[in-house]
Amino acid sequence: MHDLSWPGSYGQENDPPCPPDPPETPRRRKSGALMLSAEEARHVRVAVRKLRRAFGTFRALSVMTGIPASTLRRAANPKSSPTGTLAIRVAAAAGVAVEVLLGGKLVVTTPVIGRAA
């Protein structure tokens, strides 16, 4: 009589055994020093959107900050949580202190093209 136990441990009896699962690598924790409050994160998101308008594209802002354009797009999303490192680099690209950026007092003026200023 046949043994109909279901499911078999690794499939059919003539299948090669499955390799063991790789060991789980420990996840790195983010430093608490670079965590932003909800209000500071909102100010960083607004600053990224303002600077994108001033520079024209996320790609141009990416060149200035050294952060990939896709990361900047994600950081501008209202549901994102930007990091302190991103805030530092965005503040450097804007030419302001990080405290100004995190305080929500960043003023970005777009250049007027075609008229005498």
Q: For residue range 45-57, what is the model confidence (pLDDT) as tens digits?
A: 999 998 999 888 9
Give me the chain's average pLDDT, please. 81
- Helix H, strand E, coil C: the string for the chain is CCCCCCCCCCCCCCCCCCCCCCCCCCCCCCCHHHCCCHHHHHHHHHHHHHHHHHHCCHHHHHHHHCCCHHHHHHHHCCCCCCCHHHHHHHHHHHCCCHHHHHCCCCCCCCCCCCCCC
pTM of structure:
0.65
Residue among 85, 94, 101 at smallest CA distance from 52 = 94
Q: For residue range 8-32, what is the model confidence (pLDDT) as tens digits?
A: 555 566 666 677 777 888 877 767 7
Rounded Cα distance between 115 and 112, Å, is 6
